[in-house]
Amino acid sequence: MLGRISFYGQQINGYGYEFVMLGILFLLIIKYRLKPLIEAYKKNKYLFWFFIFNFLTFFISISRYSLLENLVSFLYQIRLIYYFIFFFYIKNLISKKALDFFIILTAIISLVQYFLYPDLRNLIYAGWDPHLYRMFGTYLDTYVAVAIYGLVFFYLFFQKRSSINKILLVSYFFFIIMTFSRLGYLSFLLTFIFIYIRDLKKFLIIFALASLVLFLLPKPQGEGVNLARIFSIQSRVVDYQKAVKIWQRSPLIGIGYNRIRYIKNEIETSHSGASFHSSFMIVLATTGIIGFILFLLGLIKLSECNSYGPYFLIFVSLISLGDNAFLHPFILFLLLSFISLNPSRR
């Protein structure tokens, strides 16, 4: 978030690392030409059909919106496609050492944030939630942080156990709990049910351990660490109702990806004015039933990239029921990076 560049009242956003990605992608296209895209199409036609369908729905309703509104919508589509194209080219070149460096650096930065910058209330004016005594790293949002911590945890979990791996695994377990994200907790535990579907005793051990740590963890003042809070639940219910109303305008093909900002009755003073809390509700409202089915089929095929891919996708999918995790740029980048590897577990 610290490297984000915004234009037109935050309708258009870019991140520093995306420009690095663009340079890498340009070099890879020169080297490999269209071969990675052709191979990717053979393995996962549904994702390509989803992107093509997005463009079709965009042009069907293009006359209803202004030039700027169409530009913003078009850029949303280009970014989504850009991330997947980058993944198709880079998936065989992902460096495990680079990811390990990222994991260690993220752990250090997260600890520094929690102990030296635990209060985000000074950024309320900029539309950020007033997180207090919660771990959010440099992402400035706990749902983003818990998604990233969870992805890292499962990546470490599916690797062979070395001394540093064990230390990091325990650290990220604590990081997940220190976000005080109830949706993150639920997604984390439900993912373990899928992992240990035939050995629920191990799941119960993890559940008991997580409950004990949560009980013993200090909970200073602030509504954010109050696990009985209901405001966030109520806001999500209202958000889902808005999504359903927008979807009902065009249930088959949707309103076009991504024009939510211009359909909402009231543009919220936050960073979610162009979306809904749930990634799936965004896809449903903008691409309709047809696009939604293609999206789900594409994710299923994507999970087959390696033996642990389904668990990464299950975890992010569960969070995406209540927060826009799937379509968050960096979560998507990290998810695709981990799926591209096939770590060998002990």
Give the chain's count of helices (H) and strands (E): 14, 2
Query: In the numeric block, which tokens belong to residue 259?
Result: 């024009």
Give the relative orientation of helices 182-195 and 309-320 as an angle to the nearest 10 degrees.
150
Contact 213, 174 (CB under 8 A): yes
Strands (E), the chain: 4-7, 12-15
Q: How far is CA 115 from CA 75, 122, 165, 218, 226, in A?
A: 38, 16, 23, 13, 19
Cα–Cα nearest to 71, from 276, 259, 247, 275: 259
Q: Please give the Cα distance from 123 to 121 (Å, whole number).
A: 5
Phi, psi at residue 343, to the nearest 5°?
Answer: -65, 140
Which residues fall within 8 angstroms of residue 179, CB to CB, at 6 or more apart? 134, 135, 136, 142, 145, 146, 149
* pLDDT for the residue numbered 185: 93
The burial class, CB within 10 Å (0-12 / 13-18 / 19+), for 111 is middle
* pLDDT for the residue numbered 270: 47
Query: In the numeric block, which tokens belong to residue 90?
Result: 């880079």
Q: Please give the Cα distance from 221 to 228 (Å, whole number).
A: 14
Query: In the numeric block, which tokens belong to residue 104?
Result: 């260690």
Q: Please give the Cα distance from 198 to 98 (Å, whole number).
A: 34
Q: How far is CA 273 from CA 67, 134, 188, 235, in A?
A: 19, 24, 27, 14
Determine the 3-state secondary structure of 61 from DSSP: coil
Give bridge partners of residue 207 from the DSSP assignment.
none
Query: Dmax over Cα atoms in the chain, in whole Å?
Result: 60
Query: In the numeric block, which tokens belong to residue 311?
Result: 């668990």
Digitized pLDDT (tens) for each residue of the chain, 346 residues in all: 667 777 766 667 778 888 888 999 999 999 999 999 999 999 899 999 999 999 998 888 888 888 888 888 898 899 889 999 998 998 878 888 888 999 999 999 999 999 998 887 777 766 667 677 889 998 888 999 999 999 999 999 998 778 888 999 999 999 999 998 889 999 999 999 999 988 888 888 888 988 888 777 776 665 555 665 666 777 788 888 888 989 999 999 998 887 887 787 444 544 456 678 899 999 999 999 999 999 999 999 988 888 888 999 999 999 999 999 998 888 998 998 888 875 444 3
Q: Please give the Cα distance from 35 to 49 (Å, whole number).
A: 18
* pLDDT for the residue numbered 101: 93
Cα–Cα nearest to 271, from 115, 122, 139: 139
Query: In the numeric block, which tokens belong to residue 24?
Result: 């890498």
Q: Please give the Cα distance from 337 to 95 (Å, whole number).
A: 9
Q: Please give the Cα distance from 200 to 197 (Å, whole number).
A: 6
* pLDDT for the residue numbered 125: 64
* pLDDT for the residue numbered 261: 79
Query: In the numeric block, which tokens belong to residue 86?
Result: 């980058």
Determine the 3-state secondary structure of 119 from DSSP: strand
